[in-house]
Structure 1
Amino acid sequence: MKDYHKYIILLAALLVQLSTAAPAETIATEKHRLGYETVVEGLSNPWSLAFLPDGSMLISERNGTLRIVNTLGKLETKPIEGLPDINQHGQGGLLDVVLHPKFKDNRWVYFSYAERDGKSYGTTVARGRLEGRRLQQLETIFRMARKTTSRHHFGSRLVFDPQGYLYITLGDRGDRERAQDLNDHAGSVIRLNDDGSIPHQNPFIENDSGLPEIYSYGHRNIQGAALHPMNGRLWTHEHGPQGGDEINIPDPGANHGWPVITYGVNYVTGTKIGEGTAKAGMVQPIHYWVPSIAPSGMAFYTGDIFKNWKGNLFVGSLKFQQLVRLELDGEKVIHEERLLTGNLGRIRDIRQGPDGLIYLLTDSHDGKLIRLFPTP
């Protein structure tokens, strides 16, 4: 039986190589010989990837376009219609895209974007029913309060948990003090029901100490979020300043400290931020990076194709153009390996495909969808 599974994995890798016109490259890693290839290219700063049940894929581009890769693996020239007017503004634009857990039944697609109000912008989340190549019945389910003219730190990742709650990650919008204000959405994780209503179990629902949709706060700019495959808990990572990128496990009502505590320092001057690296009542990260790797995208690997990576956590690095692989012991990072340094460019998103392979998006004006596979 073991030999049978081995041959199935090798056959899958061979079929992947034969299915694309782009030549595959290979590298050696600690636990796998790794191949990678371009599935599609010519994307404009792609930000997020979602797999549709029929085998096609949705890709969000920061310029406000939602693209589709069809079942033949080809990028369609005509984008998905029906989105609101989305303008790229600094780090903002069209950001994450995810499917409702019951997408096969209800066809809901959720997406986050930087919404304009006059000269100000803030992160907004909307949903629409995908019918053919168009989003119908568009609904706005969340608007960040308050909008500003800042071009920085919009977040934003969207994750559904096993109970059907939707988590929305938000940045501090470049105004660090906002992350400690519980009457401000900036620098927080939001938890909603799938229709945008507020769950009765949220930590600030029954008192006036904070906005009822806030789940955790004290975050700088979260651009990675994923559910742990064993216990369903939300894991996030966020950009630090100069140093101090963090991986966190947000709990209800938890204060993650920014900008009172951080392992980073001020840009240029290198001076201390806040009160140091720890303070009573503020949560420590389970892992941090100094110097910063500029993390974006996050995925736990749960498949069988990369058998030696099962249970590992993967994080993209924009700054060092890397894929970071983390081995875990419970909630502790015990080993780190850095892959593909400089091979692909800035890695913006990471997803495990339904085929058990790993897919990456590269952040550039000529961005690519890359597929990773094991080679013999």
Structure 2
Amino acid sequence: MEKSILSLCFFVVILNFSCGQKSENKVITPEVVPFTAELFVDDLQIPWGFAFLPDGSMLITEKSGELIHFSKGKKTKISNVPEVYYRGQGGLLDIELHPDYTKNGWIYLSYASPEGTKKGGHTALMRARLKNNALVDGELLYKASPNTTKSQHFGSRIVFDNDGYLYLSIGERGARDVNPQDVSRDGGKIYRFYDDGRIPQDNPFISKGGAKTAIYSYGHRNPQGLAKHPETGEIWNNEHGPRGGDEINIIKKGANYGWPLVTYGINYSGTSITDKTEMGGMEQPIHYWVPSIAPCGMAFVTSDKYADWKGSLLVGSLAFQYLERLQLNGTKVTHREKLLPGKGRVRAVKQGPDGLIYVAIEGKGIYKLIPKG
């Protein structure tokens, strides 16, 4: 959807007035913002993910396959990065540190991997340690299968919950009628692991014959945002819809999120996918976008550094090239703001250890939002 949606935005806006329910709150561009945007890391092409090391430096993934260490204004390429399947939406994707990184040094990467017996690639998860600007002790924890030469919907984000479980999102790889609703197949799922890649025995499909036992939830399309709620500890995701129908969901054990049996979107051609937006036994999103913003990356604001932002959810827009702030009352979106309008395709957003917000934008780099006053 990432490429297609740019040329379709005009038509989706028209669609927005003629079918389906819109978001209750229109996104506004505030007259005054509580920050100035400073380019913190320059000259990046597609900075897919980034993570802060304990010393305040940063590890950044470039979708093309480079892992970059940024420290004190200097970029250093890390060696021994896994081979990636760099095609379409595939490449080197997310990065996350172990919650006890200072004790064990584990770094987790998701990426499109060509490993396997068939041509093409599929999403994989690995961990490694960093030593002398190289990845060492690398371990492949999970590799989705089978490979396919399709270029879309790899996912993929990584997040840890409060109990130390690791969650990984994988898109349905362009096989919407096959993968998302079938728990015996990879793709269109959120997966849950122990930190070493073992599969928890209380995963929901552990006893189901033929199931991929790492699956935690299913019926997803292309989830490119995962974040832990700072108060409830729940895992939230955002995911691309087709033409319309991007979603924010709260991930529940064994739950079915409906794709493609229910959706608020339609085909890119303008034809219907289904006339159903809800169905018994399937979860409803807590928020959806029509037209699609093409959401990527997400972060909760826990910092007091920005006026009235604490408790908000930040989501990047690839299609409309801005950062969206969603103000929440529990799970209800009560207000939406468009930040950094026209700055570029927002690929990732995180709150740093300094309490500041950092935003990765394609073709530019990573911006730091410096509070005013």
**TM-score computed with the length of structure 2 as normaliser:** 0.89
Compare relative contact order (CA 8 Å, sep 6+) and give the higher one, 1 or 2.
2
Q: 1:254 to 1:209 in 2, by over 3 A?
A: farther
Whether 1:371 aligns to 2:372 is: no
Could you say what secondary structure the match of 2:203 adopts?
A: coil
Cα distance between partner residues in 1 of 2:344 and 2:33: 21
Cα distance between partner residues in 1 of 2:193 and 2:80: 24
Tell whether the 8 Å contact from 1:224 to 1:237 is kept in structure 2 after alignment.
yes
Report % sequence identity: 50
Structure 1 residue 132 displacement after superposition: 3.0
- Candidates 96, 99, 103, aligned match of 1:98: 96
2:53 aligned partner, one-letter code: L
Structure 1 residue 329 displacement after superposition: 1.1
Could you say what secondary structure the match of 1:105 adopts?
A: helix
Equivalent runs, 1:172-251 vs 2, <5 Å? 172-177=172-177, 178-208=179-209, 210-251=211-252
Cα distance between partner residues in 1 of 2:31 and 2:287: 21
Structure 1 residue 154 displacement after superposition: 0.2
Q: Which residue of 2 aligns with 1:133?
A: 133
Tell whether the 8 Å contact from 1:32 to 1:306 is kept in structure 2 after alignment.
no
Q: Which residue of 2 aligns with 1:46?
A: 47
Equivalent runs, 1:26-41 vs 2, <5 Å? 29=30, 32-41=33-42
Moved more, 79-88 or 91-100: 79-88
In structure 2, list runs of 5 or more residues that go unmatched.
1-28
Structure 1 residue 33 displacement after superposition: 2.8
Q: Which residue of 2 aligns with 1:278?
A: 278
Q: Which residue of 1 aligns with 2:142?
A: 142
Structure 1 residue 145 displacement after superposition: 1.9
Could you say what secondary structure the match of 1:167 adopts?
A: strand
Tell whether the 8 Å contact from 1:182 to 1:211 is kept in structure 2 after alignment.
yes
What RMSD in Å do the two structures reach over aligned CA positions?
1.4
2:245 aligned partner, one-letter code: G
Tell whether the 8 Å contact from 2:217 to 2:252 is kept in structure 1 after alignment.
yes
How many pairs does the alignment contain? 342
1:168 aligned partner, one-letter code: L
Structure 1 residue 87 displacement after superposition: 3.7
Tell whether the 8 Å contact from 1:68 to 1:79 is kept in structure 2 after alignment.
yes
Structure 1 residue 206 displacement after superposition: 2.3
Structure 1 residue 307 displacement after superposition: 4.0
Structure 1 residue 341 displacement after superposition: 1.3
Structure 1 residue 159 displacement after superposition: 0.3
Tell whether the 8 Å contact from 1:323 to 1:341 is kept in structure 2 after alignment.
yes
Q: 1:105 to 1:192 in 2, by over 3 A?
A: same
Tell whether the 8 Å contact from 2:153 to 2:172 is kept in structure 1 after alignment.
yes
Structure 1 residue 32 displacement after superposition: 4.1
Equivalent runs, 1:4-83 vs 2, <5 Å? 29=30, 32-70=33-71, 72=72, 74-76=73-75, 78-83=76-81
Tell whether the 8 Å contact from 1:304 to 1:310 is kept in structure 2 after alignment.
yes
Structure 1 residue 240 displacement after superposition: 0.3
In structure 1, list runs of 5 or more residues that go unmatched.
1-27
Cα distance between partner residues in 1 of 2:277 and 2:33: 36
Cα distance between partner residues in 2 of 1:209 and 1:281: 21
1:321 aligned partner, one-letter code: Q
Tell whether the 8 Å contact from 2:121 to 2:149 is kept in structure 1 after alignment.
yes
Could you say what secondary structure the match of 1:104 adopts?
A: helix
Moved more, 111-120 or 152-161: 111-120
Residues 242-280 of structure 1 deviation map (CA, whole Å, 9 limit, x = unaligned): 000000011011000000000000112x12113411111
Q: Which residue of 2 aligns with 1:8?
A: none
Cα distance between partner residues in 1 of 2:334 and 2:211: 36
2:284 aligned partner, one-letter code: Q
Tell whether the 8 Å contact from 2:34 to 2:307 is kept in structure 1 after alignment.
no
